[in-house]
Amino acid sequence: MHTVQFAAKFEFLDEIRDFVGAIARDAGFADRDVYNIQLATDEAASNIIEHAYEGVTTGLLEISCGVKNGDSIHVTLVDHGEPFDPSEVPDPDLDADLSERKIGGLGIFLMRKLMDEVHYHAGPGNSNTLTLIKRKA
């Protein structure tokens, strides 16, 4: 597992996507999977920056990424902001018409759909751990 600490700011999303993308590509994931792993990680990180660290400018986001058993990539995001369990966010209504379409929850929905597993754990010392797992197709 490789671990990198990022300042919890949107301007680092590019670097965060590059970090997980390089590991996924080296592990032999197909281009489509690499894109989707980057997108899911971006949505998870964006959500932490926007909600867990709302109003906080000095937050840190620690991201670990690695491949297990040669066929599944694990991305773990650890923050020390407000606890937030994405599994409690209801799916958006994708059949709603334009005027009723909800803006919120879309990123979380994409993250859940794009990955095979998503786990949230509120740990000691105010830490939140979100793990995203995707297996090779």
Contact by Cβ (8 Å): 121, 128: yes
**Spatial CA neighbour of 52 closest among 132, 129, 116:** 129
Site for other proteins in 31-70 (CB under 8 A): 31-32, 35-36, 38-39, 42-43, 46, 49-50
Binding piece for other proteins, criterion CB under 8 A, among 8-16, 53-61, 78-86, 127-135:
8-16
- Give, in degrees to the nearest 5, the angle at Cα 106 between 104 and 109: 130
Number of residues interacting with other proteins: please give it, by CB under 8 A: 29
**Shortest separation between residue 35's beta carbon and other proteins, angstroms:** 4
Binding piece for other proteins, criterion CB under 8 A, among 11-19, 22-30, 56-64, 127-135:
11-19
Site for other proteins in 84-123 (CB under 8 A): 92, 94-95, 98-99, 101, 103, 106-107, 109-110, 113-114
Give 96 or 122: the residue with its C-beta nearer to other proteins: 96
Q: Please give the Cα distance from 137 to 125 (Å, whole number).
A: 37
